[in-house]
A and B are shown apart, each in its own frame.
Chain A
Amino acid sequence: MRSPRSFWAALTLLLVGVAFAALAAWSMVARSTIPLALDGTVTSIELRHEKHPGVDDVWMVGFDDDGPRHLDRAVAALLTEGDRVRKDAWSRTLVVDGETHDVALSDDARRMLVLAPVVGGAFAVLLVAGSRRP
């Protein structure tokens, strides 16, 4: 037997949880540039350090048509200030000053694409358990 009030509360939690699992996966995938459409000139490349320099470094790349973006180190390494960059959304080819480069998901992005559905499944299990009458 289920309590409708518990079910809706648990369903709300599930939706919030799935949204954040998607946010984590999307943020990591976007750093590869694969889902992004780019058409502009690189205006800045900045290396910022986090808690563990060399491990969790942040590469911020600015474009003339947009603010700085956090990109994967492998992508940032292809770029220098002044480069003209063009890329179609969901293409794995990045054109830098007329030269093509392949881009790929980082290991972290691939792993998060594994973990996010697992977490969503865990939330689904808890939804069923949490919507039962105590």
Chain B
Amino acid sequence: MNASSWPRPTLTLSLVLVVLVGVSYGVLFPDRTDYLGHFLAGAGGTFWLLAIVVELDRNSRWPVVYGVLAAVLLGVFTEATVFRLAEFDPVDLANQSLGAVFAGFGMVDGRPYDRSAGIAGVAGLALLVAGFAYAFS
């Protein structure tokens, strides 16, 4: 196993922190599971997007940042349209964007040959499913 193989420290740390911050959301906002749901869904969806970015670009530092910004903008669009219920809620947008930033940190030094994309895909799917479950439960 070379130095860039799994477990890559930044991705590992990012995933651990997503779980810890997610637990913090659950403890601090026990009645607002939608906050936790938006956070997890933002992280999961962005991990998926960045899995593609890392596979497409071997020099994937700034493209990862652009990917996070694209995910944030996608969040703005969905919050303003399909998920706009009572209002455009900046708290929902912030929560999902915080998740997106955690994903960005996890993938910022990812490379096509270090299995980051595979890990991000699996973790992203789990986070996305958990996010939707908490947001709509």
Within residues 7 to 54 of chain A, which ones have a CB less than 8 A from any CB in chain B?
9-10, 12-14, 16-17, 20-21, 23-24, 27-28, 48-52
Q: With CB as the reference atom, state the residue of chain A lying closest to B33.
A: A52
Given that A23-B93, A119-B98, A134-B8 are known contacts, is A56 also in contact with B28, CB under 8 Å in the complex? no
- Decide: B17 and A5 in contact? CB cutoff 8 A: no
How far is the CB of A43 from the nearest CB of chain B, in Å? 17
- Decide: B108 and A115 in contact? CB cutoff 8 A: no
Given that A56-B32, A56-B34, A134-B4 are known contacts, is A13 also in contact with B105, CB under 8 Å in the complex? yes
- A-B interface pairs (CB < 8 A), number: 127
Chain A, interface residues (CB within 8 Å), range: 35 or more
Given that A20-B94, A23-B93 are known contacts, is A13 also in contact with B104, CB under 8 Å in the complex? yes
How far is the CB of A117 from the nearest CB of chain B, in Å? 11
Using Cβ atoms and an 8 Å threshold, which residues of chain A touch B32? 55-56, 108
- Decide: B87 and A58 in contact? CB cutoff 8 A: yes
Q: Give Cα A50 to B34, complex, Å.
A: 10
Name 30 A/B residue pairs within 8 A (Cβ), A-sorted.
A6-B109, A9-B64, A13-B68, A16-B72, A16-B101, A20-B98, A27-B90, A28-B91, A49-B86, A50-B85, A51-B34, A60-B86, A60-B87, A70-B87, A112-B28, A112-B91, A114-B28, A115-B28, A122-B17, A126-B10, A126-B13, A126-B17, A126-B102, A127-B105, A130-B10, A130-B108, A132-B10, A132-B109, A134-B4, A134-B114
